[in-house]
Amino acid sequence: MIPKKVDAARRAQALAAGAGLLDGGRTLARAALARDAERGKRTKTLHLPSGAVVNIIEPESEEEVERDREALRDLLVRDDLVRLGFSAMRVSNRYRFGWRLWTLDSAGRIRSPMFDTGRAVDHPSIVADCPHGHEVPSAACRCGIYFVPHWFPFHRAVDDLLDGDFTAHALTWGVAIGGVDVDPGGDQWGIRPRRTGRFRILGGMVPEEAPQPALPVPWRRGFTDRNAFAVEKLWDLGAPSNFHDVVAKYQDEPATSFNADDVEDPEVTAWQILRRLDHQ
């Protein structure tokens, strides 16, 4: 399901260019992470009464370290999107787009690994209902549809969680239509997850031998960087030029609703719930 206004030649050219960049390695990312590690240090020079000079490396405050790390990660995310030729709308709204993990049943239906509702997602749009009466997302609770804005740390984390076995799972990419806030549980994915009250699935990936997914969005088989890039890029090529039009396009669609009352233990963070996959 590719937008008709995106002609085949333009699509192929964009995918080829992006694939080449993906093959080029992530030297910039590795260098930036090395610099990130050094930002947690400070060098102080002490002049002793004996005349000796001693250099001492001291850590920054936790707040300064986290602020520096978040700023650096944001630069990496933006740099990746610009290098891969994404639209200005996508770059400017980079933390409104992101990836999610789902379980996939034998009929091709996806279900949330964080909620045991006994039903599948039956619409590309998903809504989080708050049983506490808050507008999602709220600083007063943890309710929300969680997503990770950047493919690379998301893929690494999920690959680790599932020990590389993606059987009976699906990964989807989409956009937050409602307000966006950070995960109150902290930084667990290399980039802190975001949460929203309304999320629209735009595309996804399933295992090679999986049944055809039921949701009417573009799907690719195989969990590779190229496929992840294709899912994002093909939507971006036919996307509106401003985010207001993105919201207008999806905000009134029928949606699958999830409620925090469906979680076994509401006090457990989304990350901890996801960790249970290791023991099932």
Q: What single string gives the DSSP state of each residue in 60-116?
A: --HHHHHHHHHHHHHHHHHHHHHHTT--HHHHHTGGGEEEEEEEE-TTS-EE-TT--
Q: What is the β-pairing status of strands 219-221 and 198-206?
A: parallel
CB 119 within 8 A of CB 258: no
Greatest Cα-to-Cα distance within the chain, rounded to the nearest angstrom? 78
Q: pLDDT (tens digit, 9 = 90+) per residue, 252-277?
A: 999 988 765 544 444 444 444 443 33
Percent of the chain with pLDDT over 90: 36
Are residue 134 and residue 210 in the same domain, yes or no? yes
Among 15-24, 115-124, 229-238, the range of highest mean pLDDT: 229-238
How many Cα neighbours within 13 Å face the side chain of 244? 0
pLDDT band (50, 70, 90) for residue 221: very high
In a domain, 12, yes or no: no
Residue 76 sits in the same domain as residue 193: no
How far apart (Å, rounded) are the C-alpha atoms in residues 252 and 134?
20
Which pLDDT value is given to residue 274? 42
205 lies in the same domain as 237: yes
Which residues does residue 180 pair with via DSSP β-bridges, in sequence order?
Answer: 196
Q: Domain check: are 118 and 245 in the same one?
A: yes
Residue 145 sits in the same domain as residue 66: no
Full-model pTM:
0.75
Residue 132 and residue 267: Cα distance in Å, rounded? 13
With beta carbons less than 8 A apart as the criterion, state whether 265 and 114 touch: no
184 and 263 housed in the same domain: yes
Question: What does the pLDDT look like over 53-73, one tens digit per residue?
Answer: 766 656 566 676 666 667 777
Q: Is residue 100 part of a domain?
A: yes
- Which domain range does residue 245 map to? 96-279
Return the higher-pLDDT residue of 90 and 261: 90
CA distances from 203 to 113, 155, 172 (A): 18, 15, 6
Question: What percent of the chain stands above pLDDT 70?
Answer: 64
pLDDT at 51 over 90: no
Structural domain count of the chain: 2
pLDDT of residue 182: 82
Q: How does residue 129 score in pLDDT terms, banded at 50, 70 and 90?
A: confident
Question: Per the domain annotation, does 34 fall within a domain?
Answer: no
In a domain, 28, yes or no: no
Residue 228 confidence (pLDDT) above 90: yes
pLDDT at 92: 95
Lowest mean pLDDT among 37-41, 216-220, 265-269: 265-269
Q: Confidence class of residue 1 from pLDDT cuts 50, 70 and 90?
A: very low
Q: How confident is the model at residue 270, as a pLDDT?
A: 46
**Mean pLDDT within 216-243:** 95
- The CA distances from residue 110 to 62, 154, 210, 215, 231, in Å, are 39, 18, 12, 8, 17
Note whether residue 180 is domain-resident: yes
Same domain, 68 and 168: no
Residue 9 belongs to some domain of the structure? no
Rounded mean pLDDT of 185-189?
Answer: 57
The answer to whether residues 128 and 230 belong to one domain is yes
Residue 110 lies in a domain: yes
Same domain, 270 and 210: yes
* Pair (79, 100) in one structural domain: no
Q: Quote the CA–CA distance of 135 and 144 in Å, as a whole number.
A: 10
Average pLDDT over residues 135-141: 82
| Same domain assignment for residues 162 and 68 | no
Regarding whether 79 and 129 lie in a shared domain, the answer is no
